[in-house]
Amino acid sequence: MSVLDGREDTMKSCESIARDVTQLFDNASSMGTLADDGLTAFEIFHQLQTNSSSEQLTEYILAAGLLRRGTHSEKLIHSTLRSIYQAQTGWHGQEVLNTATVVLNTLSSISDQYQSERIQYIMLCSDKLTEHNHPIGLLEAANTFRNMRPRSSGSYSHEIFDPYDRYIQILKLMMQVTPVFDWMEDNRRYWQHIERDIFEQYGHNSHSSRGDYSGRRDNDDIGNAIHLDHNHQSDSDGIPGINESEDEDDDDSRFDDNVNDSNVVDQFCDISKVIVSNAGNEDVNGNYIRDGICEGAHKFSKNGVFNGNDCTYSLFKCNVSNNTQHWYISVVPSGTLPGTSNDIDFYSASVTPECQIVPPSSGWNKAAEGIHPPPSIHVEKGIDNSPSPDEEQEHQQQNVGQSFV
């Protein structure tokens, strides 16, 4: 067991094994030149992982073989990061990513003088396979692929979305390991632009204990935790070769049938405002007036102040890159649409079947700029002359048509 934020949490097996190894071995010991070279090759551990039923055996060999061995650790990390970048799509690629996560989690858990350097190298390695490729460090690659995504939330191509999602899923799993979680907390400037995608799938915020994640896996369930696109399997292509386009309906439209149902929308046309209260950020609290639609749901806003400057606080629903939907209370920069990485997010809540059109009253969590506790939401009905979502949509389309005349 470990204690984090005053609460007991079951320690991951890689952490427990690394602690045992550190206590058992006082100094690094060589097992011979051939064995030492093998310890730096990802393929060795991938074969061990796929041919053995014991993930703990792989973790023990990693911890015992690389304790207090900085140079060998660096070589294995580099080999592992290369394998992540080159992994094929489909089931075979998933096996590679599963092994890679075991390797990186274990190396991050070894408590010696090189621990921080290992984690930093895993996250920020800027090496490229060739001059035409992208950096292979987890955060470096994730940030690179994020910047390559289309602006529109509903037009991801496999070439961009799949690689980005690959790195986000690995980062989510690695942040369940205490040393990685602590390093990420201390180095938020390296990943602040992808924070929403790392945390929003589970509906939790970045300051929660890692034990709060509803998506955490058991030690023998890592294969179920990384979800790749199995409908586009290739026998030879890694990230550099992904060039398929998405010709089918966009996955983000999976909520459309509920959102656009006129009978459902009509039930909420008499909403005048929502009242936000009890939020740790006092400036967030107040009356939010209905002022339009976003992603087929009512959008609300109020004037306020943030960091001493006048601003508009917005309460809206949007899609995020992992094909889920969430409600946000954010400051949306002037001249931009809500739902981009430029938003300043305070609180968020997962979209459920009961809150497709209006925000939920509870279930909110602190986001990047939020302060505990999260808010309570009260939806108030009354006389409201603002347009319904369908009317607002028609009005927007008319305005677009007139702008071209």
DSSP string, 309-346: EEEEEEEEEEE-TTS-EEEEEEEPPTTS-TTSTTSEEE
pLDDT at 388 over 50: no
Q: What is the mean pLDDT of residues 252-275?
A: 51
Residue 158 tokens, joined? 């496999």
pLDDT of residue 321: 62
187 and 283 housed in the same domain = no
Higher pLDDT, 347 or 243: 347
146 and 235 fall within a common domain: yes
Residues 186 and 142 in one domain: yes
Boundary-marking domain end, from 248, 266, 283: 248
Cα distance between the two ends of the chain: 68
The pLDDT of residue 87 is above 50:
yes
Residue 276 has pLDDT above 90, yes or no: yes
193 and 241 together in one domain:
yes
Q: Looking at 175-317, list the stretches that DSSP marks H as alpha helix, in order from N- to C-terminal side.
A: 178-186, 195-199, 256-259, 262-266
Q: Give the Cα separation of 272 and 288 in Å (integer).
A: 9
| Cβ-Cβ contacts under 8 Å for 300 (sequence gap 6 or more) | 273, 274, 288, 289, 290, 291, 314, 315, 316, 359
Mean pLDDT of 313-337: 85
- Does the pLDDT value for residue 218 go beyond 60? no
pLDDT at 160 over 60: no
Query: Mean per-residue pLDDT for 99-127?
Result: 96
| Pairwise pLDDT comparison (153 vs 118), residue with the higher score | 118
Lowest mean pLDDT among 142-156, 238-252, 303-317: 238-252
Q: Is the same domain home to 226 and 277? A: no
Token pair for 298 = 């009512």
Distance of CA 174 to the CA centre of its chain: 11
More reliable by pLDDT, 326 or 251: 326
Q: Which DSSP state fits 70? A: H
Residue 62 has pLDDT above 90, yes or no: yes
Same-domain pairing of 221 and 364: no
pLDDT band (50, 70, 90) for residue 262: very low
Q: Does residue 12 have a pLDDT over 50? A: yes
Domain that holds residue 371: 257-403
Query: Residue 370's closest CA among 303, 305, 283, 280?
Result: 280
State the average pLDDT for the chain.
76
Burial of 65 (0-12, 13-18, 19+ CB in 10 A): buried
DSSP state of 391: H
Count other C-beta atoms under 10 Å from residue 261's C-beta: 14
Mean pLDDT of 47-58: 83
For residue 224, pLDDT over 50 is answered with no
Give 112 or 400, the one with higher predicted confidence.
112
pLDDT for the residue 5: 56
Amino acid at 221: D
CA distance linking residue 14 with residue 102, whole number of Å = 8
Count Cα neighbours of 281 within 13 Å in the Cβ-side half-sphere. 23
Asked whether residue 239 falls in the same domain as residue 320, the answer is: no
Same domain, 221 and 196: yes
Total domain count, the chain: 2
Distance between alpha carbon 8 and the CA centroid of its chain, in Å? 25
Q: What is the pLDDT of residue 401?
A: 41
pLDDT confidence of residue 4: 59
How confident is the model at residue 280, as a pLDDT?
93
Distance CA 9, CA 1 (A): 6
- What distance in Å separates the CA atoms of residue 129 and residue 142, rounded to the nearest whole number? 16
Q: Are residues 207 and 262 in the same domain?
A: no
How confident is the model over 167-180, as pLDDT tens digits?
999 999 999 899 99
CB-CB contact of 350 with 366 (8 Å): no
Asked if the model's pLDDT at residue 65 lies above 70, the reply is: yes
Q: What is the pLDDT of residues 333-374, one digit of tens each?
A: 887 788 887 889 999 999 988 898 999 999 999 988 899 999
Please give the Cα distance from 283 to 306 (Å, whole number): 7
Give the pLDDT of residue 161: 58
**Within this chain, do residues 272 and 176 fall inside the same structural domain, yes or no?**
no
Q: Distance between alpha carbon 384 and the CA centroid of its chain, in Å?
A: 38
The pLDDT-based confidence of 320 (bands split at 50, 70, 90) is: confident
pLDDT more than 70, % of the chain: 69
- Residue that is last in its domain, among 228, 248, 268: 248
Shared domain for 184 and 309, answered yes or no, is no
pLDDT value for 19? 92
| Residue where one domain finishes, among candidates 218, 248, 278 | 248
Query: What would the pLDDT profile of 14-37 be if each residue is shown by its tens digit?
Result: 999 999 999 888 776 667 788 888
Q: In the prediction, which pLDDT does 269 show?
A: 57
CB atoms within 10 A of CB 224: 11
Q: Are residues 222 and 310 in the same domain?
A: no
